[in-house]
Amino acid sequence: MKDDKFTINVVIGGFRMPLGIPRKDEELYRKAEKLANKQLDKYQRLYSQRPTEQILTLVAFQIAVMVSKQELREDTEPLAEKIQALDDELKALLSKD
């Protein structure tokens, strides 16, 4: 539905960008804006002599690394839970002796 979308103004590094987003995702977009600006500030302090394009590339890469780490955790979490359950079962069986 058209009513489910609306426009927010995201400001990253002083650049204002209007984005049409699903209304239910506004908090997600606001958090992403804060994260991008936090990373941008960090890299601007560390590499003040570099051009903005290089700093923005570093920011994009750092956020991609964060996403990749989260995906890896999500992929291995069910396996870790299963291993823990099996370990608990083994301990229970071994303690019966």
Q: What is the pLDDT of residues 44-71, one digit of tens each?
A: 999 999 998 899 999 999 999 999 988 8
In a domain, 17, yes or no: no
In a domain, 79, yes or no: yes
Q: What is the pTM of this model?
A: 0.68
Q: Are 47 and 54 in contact (CB under 8 A)?
A: yes
In a domain, 68, yes or no: yes
In a domain, 69, yes or no: yes
In a domain, 6, yes or no: no
More confident residue, 49 or 82: 49
pLDDT in the model for residue 3: 65
CA nearest neighbour of 36 among 20, 13, 19: 13
Alpha-carbon distance of 41 to 12, in angstroms, equals 10
Alpha-carbon distance of 48 to 75, in angstroms, equals 37
In a domain, 21, yes or no: no
> What total number of domains does the chain contain?
1
78 is in which domain, residue-wise? 26-95
Q: What is the pLDDT of residues 5-25, one digit of tens each?
A: 999 999 998 889 999 999 999
Q: How confident is the model at residue 95 (pLDDT cuts 50, 70, 90)?
A: confident
Q: Are 47 and 62 in contact (CB under 8 A)?
A: no
